[in-house]
Amino acid sequence: MSLFWRRPRAARSAPVRGRPDYVFIGLLAALVAVGFVALTSASGPLGASKFHDGFHYLKRQFLFGLLPGTALFLFLSRFEYRRLLRFWRLFLVASLVLLVVVFVPGLRAPWGTSRSWITLFGMSLQPIEIVKLTLAVAVAGWLESIGERGIRDWRQGLAPFLLGLGFVAGLVMAQPDTGGVMVLASLVVAQYLVAGAPWPHLAAIGAVGAAGLYAVVKAAPYRMARFMTFLHPELDPLGKGYHINQAYLAIGSGGVFGLGLGQGLQKKLYLPEVVGDSVVAVMAEELGFVLIILFLALFVAFVWRGFAVARRTADVFGRLLATGLMAWMSIQAFLNVGSMVGLMPMTGLPFPFVSYGGTALFASLAAMGLVVAISRTSRAPRNSRL
């Protein structure tokens, strides 16, 4: 592990605060701006059809996603993040409460087949998006509290890690939300890896995870059907394979230079989830191969810069927290794009900062505010602009 991550000495006192990483902030601002342009184009026909307002989704994304998210980002970017360390148990409890609240009668949103949404004071919320943030704080705090010796001891490290992750995964699968489980598991495993977990522990986690994934796929016929559709989408083009086939058509229709911004055809009520997990397919159709690759390169640069913040900080808690938050962004984007191009089954995960979803946007911006706060304690290598 030390080949990739320099192990810092524990920093119990507050690190010296300096300037934030302005490059990271600039990349984030660019992603949010591109996201709003893409959502404006993708959501127009659907908004006009359902609400007689082509800007319906854009307005809601601005009011319930960007505004509160920006406020949280500005506050947390200047917050002394190590104050969160003493409350890691509270963040763990909050994560569990948020995962349970979706089962409370009267709070569950009256739409969809899963229990992923709740309605509160007339607003819809997706608790798991907030859990990705609270769980990252909780696990980072727990890992620092047990220290390197505890992490290497399977009784203090591996056993509670597997039990806790299994319990959280069970709650998420009860919704059910397979994509959410994959993101949460990747997030905390990345933190456990960077904390110094021995390779046998990681192998055990991988084995348990593979067995669990096999069990949940076999337990529900629709998951097996989704997996088979992923392997052979052409066998049911108007049924279970419709979504992926329409995504293929959108991406393929874009060609090298695209049909032009706003000129896409698949968004006109042909492509499912056009404002959600399919928004990147709409971007590919309208912008073409060249520009969508540039957009993905922008996102990769953003993720790389975020991981660089984690690597440079001398604070254990800050390093683990930044690692988890950036793992969340990178894994979710990979799963989203992978499902659109046929690398994996459909997961229903939004693309960070681009897909519609107020909860997802303000939770993601809040998380990036913490990364900026951590960047204030990072020490850039000598003779390097990075």
Segment 263-308, tens digit of pLDDT = 888 888 788 888 988 999 999 999 999 999 999 999 999 999 999 9
pLDDT for the residue 125: 86
pLDDT for the residue 114: 62
> CA dist 286 to 27, 46, 280, Å?
22, 16, 10
- The closest alpha carbon to 130, from 325, 295, 322, belongs to 325
pLDDT for the residue 16: 54
Confidence label for 61 from pLDDT (cuts 50, 70 and 90):
very high
Cα gap 313→140, rounded to integer Å = 14
Confidence label for 113 from pLDDT (cuts 50, 70 and 90):
low
Summarised one tens digit per residue, pLDDT across range 161-206 is 999 999 999 999 888 888 899 999 999 999 999 999 888 888 999 8
Better-predicted residue by pLDDT, 75 or 274: 75
Summarised one tens digit per residue, pLDDT across range 118-164 is 877 667 888 999 999 999 999 999 999 998 889 888 888 889 999 99
Q: Which residues pair with 204 in a beta bridge?
A: none
Confidence label for 383 from pLDDT (cuts 50, 70 and 90):
very low
> CA dist 236 to 113, 232, 239, 245, 340, Å?
21, 8, 5, 9, 17
Percent of the chain with pLDDT over 70: 85
- The closest alpha carbon to 17, from 97, 82, 103, belongs to 82
Cα gap 355→369, rounded to integer Å = 19
358: tokens are 């107020």
Q: Hey, which bits of 174-234 come out as E strands?
A: none
92: tokens are 């763990």
Confidence label for 35 from pLDDT (cuts 50, 70 and 90):
very high
Reported pTM: 0.89
Cβ neighbourhood burial of 296 (10 Å; 0-12, 13-18, 19+): middle
Give yes or no for a contact between 39 and 331, defined as CB atoms under 8 angstroms apart. no
pLDDT for the residue 333: 96
